[in-house]
Amino acid sequence: MMPRIGVVTFPGSLDDRDAQRAIRRADGEPVALWHADHDLQDVEAIVLPGGFSYGDYLRPGAIAAVSPIMTEVVAAANRGLPVLGICNGFQVLVESHLLPGGLIRNAHQQFIRRDQKLIVENADTAWTHRFQPGEEIVIPLKNGDGGYIANDETLKYLEGEGLVAFRYAGVNPNGSLNDIAGLTNERGNVVGLMPHPEHAVEAGFGPDTPDAMRSGIDGLRFFESAVEALVARAA
């Protein structure tokens, strides 16, 4: 059977259907989860998608972090369930204290949309093990509040423990400290990043590559990593 991976829809989610499609392309079974429910429907992993949950009121991700479904997501993540937070989902993970630090307005105070080069820093997580450490990939980026911040002690902890999952390459698009584009927790089951891997899963619809326009599919390996790990666990 295909692994069941839940995708949470909050009011204001924009990329939940894209995340579901990415899961299908990785041979997983997407399961729609609703923000107001407490039922995770026995899923084996969860994606928190991009968008503007609850209109980004207070702070991006702040209200979503205390929604009913997140009570269950946090508990499941603490038990080891794989959780991927994409853009607004990364903000929700930070606001839920599943990952440290915070996300603030981009340094240039403008929304940015671009195909972004990333360096894979940690390839030993449930969502990244199909990458190689130091590998350069290209993933679409679109955000207005993507500047990662943390105090000096937290940054030293993240760097010292190898918990930076991805770093911006070529250009830092939003002023994130240490060029941080994504993080993982110590256990490696929770990963959050600002770029959108679900928008780079099918040739013809992804970033440009030297081979052809719109042919980039680096994002597919996020979802293949999770599916592969879940299949291996069930074997």
Which of the residues are catalytic? 87, 196, 198
Task: Dump the DSSP string for 169-203.
Answer: -S--SS--GGGEEEEE-TTSSEEEESS-GGGSSST
Per the DSSP assignment, residues forming a β-bridge with 149 are: 102
Phi-psi label, residue 170: left if phi above 0, alpha if psi -120 to 50, beta otherwise: left
Phi/psi of residue 13, nearest 5 degrees: -65, 140
Q: How many CB atoms lie within 10 A of CB 205?
A: 14
| 206-212, Cβ contacts within 8 angstroms, sequence gap of 24 or more | 206/140, 207/115, 207/138, 207/139, 207/140, 208/115, 209/138
58 vs 60: CA distance, rounded Å: 7
